[in-house]
Amino acid sequence: MPGASVDMRGVRDTDADWRELGATQPYFGVLSHADFLSENITPPAIEAFYATGQACITEVVGSLERTMGSTPAGRALDFGCGVGRLAEAMCAYADPVTGYDISPGMLALARQRGGAATYVGELPDGPFDWINSFIVFQHIPPARGFAILKDLMTRLAPRGVISLQFTVWREARLEPPSLAGWKGPIRAIRRRLWLANRPKGDIRMYDYDLSQVVRVLNRAGIEEMHLVSTDHAGHHGVIILGRRTVA
C-alpha cells in the first residue's frame, strides 16, 4: 500500500488511515484481536464484539453515577463511533444518540446493523447532554486532537457530562526504534520521516499532555473532573469524567 500523507508540520493524515481500515478491517480496526480480522470474522464474533461495547458503557455509566451523581440522559454523541460498538450501548441510557465517524466503511456497517443510534459523517451541531469518546483521540495527532476537543466542547450543553479517553504516556519499550536516543529538532525530523514511510491504514498511538487537556476542559466550563486510568498494552491513559458547571 502507498505511504500515508504527512503535512508540512509532520502531522499524519489519520483520516486516510481510518478510511482504509473501514474498507478492509472495520472490526479489527476498533479492537485488535484475531477474532475480529475480516478473514476470521463470524456472526458469533460480531455479537461478542458488540457485547464488549455494552460492558464498556455499563462501566462508564457506573463511574459517572458514582462521581457525578446522575445517570447520563438526553441527547448524546459518540465521537469516533466506528461501527457503532459504543453508540448502540449508549442508547440504553440516552435518546437520541448520534455516532460520528470519518470512515464510510465503518458507518455503513453501523447503519446495516439496524440499531437505535443515528450515524453521520459530518460532526453534528449541539448541544449534547453527554459526549463520549473511547480509544479515538489516542489515534489522532495531538496538534489536531486539541482543535477537535475545543470544537467538541462548544457542543456540550450546560450541565452536560463527558467521558473522554486519552493516552498520556507510554512505556519505553514502545518508543519507535528509529527515535531512540534522538532529541530536539532532529528527533522531530526523524519522526516525520518515520510517519511518512508507514503504510496507509497503519494506526499509530499518540500521547497527550494531560495539563493541556485539562486547560481546554476548564476553559469550556468543566470544573468538576474525575480520572480513571487505562492501560492498553503499555500505552497508559485516562478516561476523563466531567460535568460542565460553567455556562
Domain ranges of the chain: 14-244
Report the pLDDT value the prediction gives residue 4, as an integer from 0 to 100. Answer: 41
Average pLDDT on 112-119 reads: 95
Determine how many CB atoms are found less than 10 A away from the CB of residue 124: 13
Report the pLDDT value the prediction gives residue 7, as an integer from 0 to 100. Answer: 37
**Can you give the pTM of this predicted structure?**
0.86
Report the pLDDT value the prediction gives residue 6, as an integer from 0 to 100. Answer: 38
Task: Name the nearest CA neighbour of 18 among 197, 147, 148, 203.
Answer: 203
For residue 220, pLDDT beyond 90? yes
Alpha-carbon Rg of the chain, whole angstroms?
Answer: 18
Report the pLDDT value the prediction gives residue 179, as an integer from 0 to 100. Answer: 57
For residue 195, pLDDT beyond 70? no
Interior angle at CA 159, CA 158 and CA 160, nearest 5: 85
Average pLDDT on 205-233 reads: 95
Report the pLDDT value the prediction gives residue 135, as an integer from 0 to 100. Answer: 93
Q: Cell digits for 76?
A: 448524546
Report the pLDDT value the prediction gives residue 172, as an integer from 0 to 100. Answer: 83
Are the C-beta atoms of residues 127 and 160 closer than 8 Å to each other? yes
Q: Which CATH number fits domain 14-244: 3.40.50.620, 1.10.8.50, 3.30.70.360, 3.40.50.150?
A: 3.40.50.150
